Chain A
Amino acid sequence: MAATALGLDSHHDMHAQHGSQSWVRRHIFSTDHKVIGINYMLTGFVFFIVAGLLAEAMRVNLAQPGSKVLAPDVFNQFSTVHGSAMIFLFTIPFLVGGFGNYLMPLMIGAGDVAFPRLNLISYLLFPPGGIIMFVGFLLGGAAQAGWTSYPPISTQTPLGMPHDYGQICWLLSVIVVGVSSTITAINFLVTIVNMRAPGMSYFRLPLFVWAMLVTVILTLLVTPALAGGLSVQLMQILFGAPFFEPSKGGNVLLWQHMFWFYSHPAVYIMILPAMGIISEIIPVFSRKPIFGYKAIAYSTMAIGLLAFLVWAHHMFTSGVQPWLEVYFMITTMIIAVPTGIKVFSWVATLFEGKLRLDAPLLFALGFVSTFTLGGITGIMLASVPVDLHEHGTYFLVAHLHYVLFGGSVFGIFSGIYMWWPKMTGRMLNEKLSKLHFWCMYIFFNTTFFPMHIIGLLGMPRRVADYDPQFGTWNLFISLSAFILGASFLIFIYNAAHSLVYGEKAPPNPWGGRTLEWATASPPPHGNFATIPVVDSLPYDFTKPAPFFGVRDGAAHDDASHAHDHEVQEG
């Protein structure tokens, strides 16, 4: 007899038989968080490939100066959609909707999220919301004002078009995906706050769950602010409401404030879950606890709080009042401290470990390596005088790719390699996995590191063409980028092969200590046969694998029941 999981309605039967449902009901319209999580990942991955191809096309154009492979407006459309799709249609959905959905309920010992049907609605908004962004290509041209969509360029109708349909599509797309995100945030917040297994206090949460908690609080508070800004821009484009039109009382800088108030926390929404993944992987593959658990938890909270206070460091050259720029410089410098604490803690976790240098760990260490470099260039950009030189150049493009690709994408892949056995019930080929890592790591660096240099030497960003002096550098970068892109084929082949021929995965192939490893690979509906009861910190390797503090429910039903009632007071 199973005890009712915390927070679930009494009529939610964890052991409902779904065998009689159609494939579509079970795989697309399921309310099971694991199915929804995987769907987010699959959809997100499709957008990743498409957005990546757009970037490769841009790099073809940029391989040589004076190249006219892409017309300038097409280039601008590609660069806009590349950035927007990577951020809104891949990184955030994959990390929050994908990993968040799949792992978080498992890690807290819950049977599902608080509102499973709402979860499904969140997901169902995502594919159409994403497709709307691309519909612009069919309507005379996609949005072409950059992912930052600054007016007046974004509210200016492109030459030759009666209306900027592409921009309207872009605005609608981001609004829809934003609504989906906000609903997910509400769902996750209630789940984490209300549905943790007995004994799982906040300071026994796995660090990935801490990351999700702070991420969804950020999402809840700032995504509606973006929706506000987007609606305002939509009103101007559709109805001529002159919010950003100076001659009619509007203000151009207004957009930048509204946009960056969301978009800066958005970068933390993109990096915190990835950092959470790293915090999970390093202890498991070092076979020892994470170094400085509380420090990492507190740093995560600090980053979340500071995220609200730094947005105008994207606007240092915009004409913001000097005293305000100093304020933002100070807050941006401060946010480097908790970030540094995390990096040092991860490296220290390796100390005196028994490192299994398998793919998940390699990607995690790749993350630490590249993200640190991105963080360093971030500190350079935080200093207003230095930013005055570096802003709007390829130095910035390098920085953002080091933190978003070197950070979030490496984090995503380390998570994929880590939890692939759990999610699919199969193992990946370790040799191919390692090959993928090395290709990605090496060619990521050869692609993006030189961008720091050409940026400092005078190459602006968002350009389809450039001064011939940068020709050799750009050719080198483009060739690296092509190889980097091709290296994803290794992963795709590995994944496909694993799904068909891969060796069956045990419940806990890596010897992890968090709750997702305490159930089958993949977990059944309802996740756990009986509610786990937690009595120790996560990452406690002194306890035997694979569970931590989890009672063996099958053999001790009555005893665990009695204990459950006691513990639920707390």
Chain B
Amino acid sequence: MSTASTVVPTHPRPNTNTGLSNGFIGIMCFLTSEMALFGSLIFMYLYVRRAAPVWPPLIPGLAHGVHQYYERFDWHLPTVNTVVLLSSGVTMHFAYQALRRGNIQRTLFLLVVTIILGIGFLSGQAYEYKHLKDVAFSTQTYGATFFLLTGLHGAHVTGGVIFLLTVLIGTLRGKINQGNDMVFHAATLYWHFVDAVWVVLFALFYLTVPIS
């Protein structure tokens, strides 16, 4: 086994035209398609927002305008949630590095921490959803766009957590190891992607609500 400080490639360069494995290019293509999906929905949000005469749209029956949303969109919990998710990205990164060095114990530990942080993020989101009054999915577009985008993201995080659990089992069984790490690498890339999307959504929904 190689020493901990050097990363020695233990598998040969794949026998492909580009030298990159099929799986790696495949996962990058998949993530590109996911970016296109989120991209189109983010475009949708920006378009609706710009085209609306007043943003957020007035809730039928309520007198005041923007303040109510800002109060409800208390930024404390979402910020904590963001830190949790981004931390999980860091732990995942080091988990993969540990795998490449052959340090399975460290890999497993960091992977479990990542999963816990991921579940923590999802719990935070669930709590946030419950506490948003008057921001409904069907009464006006502010709620509709918010829930659609963060909901889709949450679904992706959930899928990601399941993916990580599968990877955990694979690593425990020894099927995923230093010589066979494509799936782990794919999971890492996916997890980073989910993080990146969240950063964008956090900026769009929580950092740019207008205050009058």
Chain A residues in the interface with B (C-beta under 8 A): 4, 6-7, 114-115, 182, 185-187, 189-190, 193-196, 220-229, 231-232, 235, 239-243, 248-251, 253-254, 257-258, 261, 568
B29→A189 contact, CB < 8 A: yes
A224 to B30 CA separation, bound complex (whole angstroms) = 10
A-side contacts of B55, CB under 8 Å: 249
Is B39 in contact with chain A by the CB < 8 A criterion? yes
Give the contacting residue for B17; candidates A195, A243, A258, A261; CB below 8 A. Answer: A195
Give the contacting residue for B141; candidates A220, A249, A253; CB below 8 A. Answer: A249
A568 to B16 CA separation, bound complex (whole angstroms) = 8
B-side contacts of A251, CB under 8 Å: 47-48, 51-52
A115→B37 contact, CB < 8 A: no
A258 to B148 CA separation, bound complex (whole angstroms) = 16
Q: Whose C-beta in chain B lies nearest to the C-beta of A235?
A: B148
A221→B33 contact, CB < 8 A: yes
Main DSSP-derived SS at the A contact region: helix
Assess A240 versus B37: contact at CB under 8 Å? Given A193-B18, A194-B25, A220-B29.
no
B1-35: which have CB < 8 Å to A?
Answer: 14-18, 20, 22, 25-26, 29-30, 32-34
Is B132 in contact with chain A by the CB < 8 A criterion? no
Q: Whose C-beta in chain B lies nearest to the C-beta of A187?
A: B26
Nearest CB of A to B32, in Å:
6
B-side contacts of A220, CB under 8 Å: 29, 32-33, 36
B side interface size, CB within 8 A: 40
Give the contacting residue for B25; candidates A193, A196, A243; CB below 8 A. Answer: A193
A-side contacts of B140, CB under 8 Å: 242, 248-249
A297 to B145 CA separation, bound complex (whole angstroms) = 41
A243→B48 contact, CB < 8 A: yes
A475 to B52 CA separation, bound complex (whole angstroms) = 47
A241→B148 contact, CB < 8 A: yes
B-side contacts of A227, CB under 8 Å: 37, 40
Give the contacting residue for B22; candidates A114, A224, A249; CB below 8 A. Answer: A114
B131-190: which have CB < 8 Å to A?
Answer: 137-142, 144-145, 147-148, 152
B-side contacts of A231, CB under 8 Å: 41, 148, 152
B-side contacts of A195, CB under 8 Å: 16-17, 22
B-side contacts of A222, CB under 8 Å: 36
Is B44 in contact with chain A by the CB < 8 A criterion? yes
Is B127 in contact with chain A by the CB < 8 A criterion? no
Give the contacting residue for A568; candidates B15, B26, B40; CB below 8 A. Answer: B15
Give the contacting residue for A249; candidates B16, B18, B142; CB below 8 A. Answer: B142
B-side contacts of A225, CB under 8 Å: 36-37, 39-40
A227 to B17 CA separation, bound complex (whole angstroms) = 32
A223 to B29 CA separation, bound complex (whole angstroms) = 13
A254 to B45 CA separation, bound complex (whole angstroms) = 10
B40→A224 contact, CB < 8 A: yes
Is B65 in contact with chain A by the CB < 8 A criterion? no
Given A190-B29, A239-B138, A248-B139; 6 other pairs, CB 8 A cutoff: A114-B26, A186-B33, A195-B17, A225-B36, A232-B44, A240-B138
